[in-house]
């Protein structure tokens, strides 16, 4: 739109020529829809922008009737009235025109419109026309509706609050008031407007007066405005009710200089809190009472504490504890406490067990007796105390121990005191139960003291027995360790005699061994106190002490005195104990039989006996002695057998060595003869027989060589001849024959070794024999199409360097039960020999002995259809020397040594 130059034109009142020429031009420039209504003819004219607001084209007619058709039916009448009253109001001095209404646009959408204008008066002061603009206020109206809905919602929420709500300014004046719904207020809502806290909370007889409440509210008001945080106070407000009322005032900042005061009725909560506090206080006093009762085990002290504390807890005027004495048919007052000095003390009061006292019948049935007014029962004693001492409410609690009547706890209050409440009766009942338990505990205390004294004595006795048993066990352990540390039978017997004599303080201790073949008892050891071990020959026939022998053969001890017997000379007047040294033997199809090896005899001076503990100890020592003797004799037997086996093995080795040498010479001659014959002109049949003869001769020579080699290794005559092996030379030379053999048999053969492998200082012939034997077995037992692997790597064991040589073949697996026997002489597994190559069964035995001689280790395992043999051969020299030798070898061969 091109710019237009405007100029200011002075306008005089009533000059209507200005508007059509200049005002309309200004309205078009602002893109507002303007209109003009002639109040005399009611002709309506509108700008294109105004017509567009109603969905009309600029060329369409826009009359007052068309305009009213677009207005919402509910707003038409109001719009007509506004147009009709605009002229009279202008004449009266109000030329402004404004009306809001809803219109329907051409697309059917409803919008809110605001038409504003001014009424122009004619020269005579009569209304001429209205000139105005129309604005779309749909968004504003929608916001107004939303705000109105929210305000209505908030007011509903506010009205639903049960609390009283006040809005106060900084000076504390009430600006707004909402009455509560759950409690009443003394004045109508209008009364509270403009009032201060001192006026809102007048002196109504509240606890502490009105001034503290008003002052607290004012202080918390200032604190809430200063800190911008809510503050709370609680205060009592009786409001004329029999029970005190309680309120809570919550002061919340509202804006900069105002606060909201929310006053809530907290009477139920405060009453519950006060009730809980009273209950907790009572429970605390009750616990103190129970603790005081339970901590006293002296009955008089217990009774005094009980009546005094019960009176304090239950606020009783007098408390009396009665004990029922059925033998005397009386109720005895054993403890009494009065809160007032004028009340009589019932201590040692004896009341007859008579039907005149109703309370006693209740107590005997273990029932609680309760009466508010003693006049209601025909109890002359209770009526007398009421009239003389104003004792009213009466409560008696039965005290029963193990459901048996023990007595009763009587509690009295003055006539001016309230009656016993249910919770107080329950509390008194609980006190009675605890009191009964405490009385029972106190009565048992004396019995417990006596029982403790008896138990203490028994414990000391038992501890002494245990200590003695421990000492006996230690002695037995000592004797057992000493006699089992040696396999010398005589030393075993001397140790047993000496230790028994010293530990049991014996005058004499002898040990005799039985000889069943000769039917005699031979004295082996004689220990005499003060002299030590004595040895002198003494043999006694079994017939001379047959009656003692029969008891010993049954495994029984013999304990006697004043016995004159040749087996135990010089012991005529001594106390003797004889224990059998015996062992059990299992007989086929029969029960166990006791075999008596000998006996132990201990003696003491006349009059001294052997206790059961000492008898058991001697019997146990005899049992351990039997085991030691049996082990010593078994060891001697084994030593003799080992010596015999060694002699036989030596004879066998000498025989094999002799036979091998004797057979080696003719076989060597036969091999020479076969060599000469093979050069002769023989027929094909003769050559075949000669080959068989040569093959069998070689097999026999191989067997003889293996036997001689194995015999040399086992005898220890073999000496290592150390040389340095280069892996680049030794491994290919050793593996090449087996590579050709594997190729002939259709087997895969692979060799690998670490390129950084060091030189190895060892016996080359022995190591070559070991590896060759393992490779020979691998070629022999590996089926066609399977693989054989030879690998050599550097490995250390216990800090020593060496080579780890691994031979692995696939397609065969050694049974698990055969692995432990692989290194036995002449042991073979013919089921794995797929080529029927045969063998002597000495190869792996020779390998094992050779590896042991070289100081290495050998391990064979088999699983997953493969056999793995690993040989670790240690380096026999120092590493620097070996490296220097390797450098010299490399220089000689013009090779760079590896490091």
Cα-based angle 120, 126, 132 (whole degrees, multiple of 5): 20
Query: Of the given ranges (542-551, 636-645, 726-735, 826-835), which has the lowest mean pLDDT?
Result: 826-835
Query: Tens of pLDDT along 439-497?
Result: 887 778 878 888 888 888 888 888 888 888 888 788 778 888 877 778 888 888 888 88
Nearest to 321 by CA among 412, 384, 445: 412
Mean pLDDT over 168-185 rounds to 86
Q: In this structure, what token pair is assigned to residue 566?
A: 């040749």
Write b or e for each residue in 678-687: b if 16 or more Cβ atoms lie within 10 A of its Cβ, otherwise e: eeeeeeeeee
More confident residue, 656 or 151: 151
Mean pLDDT over 41-65 rounds to 82
Query: Tens of pLDDT along 227-239?
Result: 999 998 888 875 5
Query: Tens of pLDDT along 501-531?
Result: 888 888 888 888 888 888 888 888 888 887 8
Q: What's the pLDDT band for 538 if we cut at 50, 70, 90?
A: confident
The pLDDT score that the predictor gives to residue 208 is 41
Judged against a pLDDT cut of 90, whether residue 274 lies above it is answered with no
- The top-scoring range by mean pLDDT among 53-57, 140-144, 295-299, 706-710 is 140-144
Judged against a pLDDT cut of 50, whether residue 589 lies above it is answered with no
Q: Which residue has the tokens 């509202």?
A: 254
Q: What's the pLDDT band for 206 if we cut at 50, 70, 90?
A: very low
Q: What's the pLDDT band for 7 if we cut at 50, 70, 90?
A: very low
**% pLDDT > 70, the chain:** 83
Contact 635, 486 (CB under 8 A): no
- The top-scoring range by mean pLDDT among 327-336, 577-586, 661-670 is 327-336
Mean pLDDT over 336-344 rounds to 88
More confident residue, 806 or 840: 806
Mean pLDDT over 15-33 rounds to 58
Q: What's the pLDDT band for 607 if we cut at 50, 70, 90?
A: confident
The CA distances from residue 767 to 722, 747, 858, in Å, are 11, 24, 12
Judged against a pLDDT cut of 60, whether residue 568 lies above it is answered with no
Query: Of the given ranges (148-152, 205-209, 561-565, 793-797), which has the lowest mean pLDDT?
Result: 205-209
Nearest to 372 by CA among 409, 328, 421: 421
Q: What's the pLDDT band for 207 if we cut at 50, 70, 90?
A: very low
How deeply is 173 buried, as exposed, middle or buried, from its count of CB atoms within 10 A (0-12, 13-18, 19+)?
Answer: middle
Residue 402 backbone zone (phi > 0: left; psi -120 to 50: alpha; other: beta): left
Judged against a pLDDT cut of 70, whether residue 831 lies above it is answered with no
The pLDDT score that the predictor gives to residue 9 is 41
Round to whole Å and give the CA distance between 317 and 424.
14
Mean pLDDT over 783-805 rounds to 89
The pLDDT score that the predictor gives to residue 411 is 92
The pLDDT score that the predictor gives to residue 77 is 92
**% pLDDT > 90, the chain:** 8
The pLDDT score that the predictor gives to residue 408 is 92
Q: What's the pLDDT band for 319 if we cut at 50, 70, 90?
A: very high
The pLDDT score that the predictor gives to residue 893 is 45
């Amino acid at each position: 739109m091109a710019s237009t130059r405007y100029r200011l034109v002075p306008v005089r009142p009533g000059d209507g020529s200005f508007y059509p020429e200049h005002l309309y031009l200004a309205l078009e420039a602002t893109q507002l829809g303007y209109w003009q209504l002639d109040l005399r003819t009611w002709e309506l004219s509108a700008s294109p922008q105004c017509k567009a607001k109603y969905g009309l084209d600029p060329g369409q007619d826009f009359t007052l009737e068309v305009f009213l058709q677009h207005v919402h039916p509910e707003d038409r009448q109001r719009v007509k009235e506004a147009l009709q009253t605009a002229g009279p109001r202008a004449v009266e001095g109000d030329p402004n025109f404004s009306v809001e209404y809803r219109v329907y646009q051409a697309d059917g959408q409803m919008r809110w419109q605001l038409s504003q204008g001014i009424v122009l008066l004619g020269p005579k002061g009569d209304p001429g026309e209205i000139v105005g603009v129309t604005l779309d206020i749909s968004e504003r109206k929608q916001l107004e509706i939303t705000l109105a809905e929210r305000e209505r919602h908030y007011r509903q929420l506010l009205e639903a609050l049960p609390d009283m709500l006040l809005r106060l300014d900084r000076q504390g004046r009430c600006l707004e008031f909402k009455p509560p719904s759950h409690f009443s207020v003394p004045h109508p809502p209008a009364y509270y407007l403009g009032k201060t806290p001192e006026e809102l909370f007048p002196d109504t007889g509240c606890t502490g007066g009105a001034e503290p409440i008003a002052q607290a509210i004012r202080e918390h008001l200032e604190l809430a405005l200063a800190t911008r945080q809510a503050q709370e106070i609680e205060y009592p407000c009786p409001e004329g009710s029999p029970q005190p009322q309680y309120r809570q005032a919550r002061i919340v900042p509202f804006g900069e200089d105002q606060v909201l005061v929310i006053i809530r009725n907290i009477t139920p909560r405060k009453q519950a809190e006060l009730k809980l506090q009273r209950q907790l206080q009572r429970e605390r006093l009750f616990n103190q009472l129970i603790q005081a009762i339970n901590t006293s085990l002296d009955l008089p002290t217990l009774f005094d504490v009980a009546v005094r504390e019960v009176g304090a807890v239950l606020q009783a005027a007098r408390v009396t504890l009665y004990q029922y004495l059925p033998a005397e048919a009386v109720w005895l007052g054993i403890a009494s406490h009065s809160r007032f000095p004028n009340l009589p003390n019932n201590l040692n009061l004896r009341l007859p067990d008579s039907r005149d006292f109703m309370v006693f019948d209740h107590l005997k049935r273990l029932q609680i007796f309760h009466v508010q007014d003693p006049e209601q029962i025909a109890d002359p004693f209770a009526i007398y105390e009421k009239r003389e001492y104003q004792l009213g409410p009466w409560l008696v609690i039965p005290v029963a121990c193990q459901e048996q009547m023990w007595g009763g706890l009587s509690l009295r209050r003055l006539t001016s005191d309230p009656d016993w409440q249910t919770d107080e009766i329950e509390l008194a009942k609980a006190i009675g139960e605890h009191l009964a338990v405490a009385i029972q505990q106190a009565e048992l205390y004396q019995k417990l003291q006596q029982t403790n004294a008896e138990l203490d004595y028994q414990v000391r006795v038992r501890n002494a027995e245990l200590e003695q048993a421990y000492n006996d066990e230690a002695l037995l352990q000592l004797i057992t360790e000493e006699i089992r540390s040696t396999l010398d039978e005589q030393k075993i017997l001397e140790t047993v005699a000496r230790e028994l004599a010293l530990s049991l303080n014996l005058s004499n201790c002898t040990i005799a061994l039985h000889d069943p073949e000769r039917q005699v008892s031979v004295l082996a050891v004689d220990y005499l106190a003060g002299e030590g071990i004595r040895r002198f020959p003494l043999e006694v026939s079994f017939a001379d002490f047959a009656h003692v022998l029969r008891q010993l053969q049954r495994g029984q001890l013999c304990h006697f005195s004043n016995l004159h017997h040749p087996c135990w000379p010089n012991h005529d007047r001594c106390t003797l104990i004889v224990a059998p040294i015996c062992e059990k033997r299992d007989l086929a199809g029969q029960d166990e039989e006791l075999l008596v090896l000998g006996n132990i005899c201990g003696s003491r001076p006349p009059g001294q006996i052997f206790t059961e503990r000492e008898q058991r100890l001697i019997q146990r020592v005899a049992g351990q002695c039997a085991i030691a003797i049996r082990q010593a004799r078994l060891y001697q037997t084994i030593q003799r057998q080992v010596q015999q086996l060694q002699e036989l093995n030596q004879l066998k080795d000498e025989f094999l060595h002799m036979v091998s040498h004797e057979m080696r010479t003719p076989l060597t001659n036969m091999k020479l003869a076969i060599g000469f014959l093979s050069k002769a002109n023989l027929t094909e049949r003769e050559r075949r027989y000669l080959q068989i003869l040569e093959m069998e001769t070689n097999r026999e020579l191989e067997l003889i060589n293996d036997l001689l080699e194995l015999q040399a290794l086992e005898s220890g005559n073999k000496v290592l001849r150390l040389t340095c092996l280069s892996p680049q030379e030794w491994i290919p030379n050793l593996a090449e024959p087996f590579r050709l053999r594997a190729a002939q048999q259709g087997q895969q053969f692979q060799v690998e070794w670490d390129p950084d492998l060091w030189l190895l200082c060892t016996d080359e012939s022995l190591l070559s024999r070991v590896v060759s034997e393992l490779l020979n077995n691998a070629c022999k037992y590996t089926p066609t199409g399977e693989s054989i692997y030879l690998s050599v790597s550097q490995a250390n064991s216990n800090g020593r360097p060496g080579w780890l040589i691994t031979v692995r073949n696939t397609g065969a697996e050694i049974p698990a039960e055969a692995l432990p026997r692989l290194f036995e002489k002449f042991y073979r597994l013919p089921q794995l020999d797929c080529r029927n190559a045969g063998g002597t069964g000495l190869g792996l035995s020779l390998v094992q002995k050779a590896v042991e001689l070289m100081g290495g280790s050998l391990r064979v395992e088999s699983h997953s259809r493969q056999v793995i043999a690993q040989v670790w051969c240690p380096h026999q020299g120092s590493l620097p020397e070996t490296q220097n030798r390797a450098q010299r070898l490399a220089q000689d061969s013009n090779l760079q040594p590896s490091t």
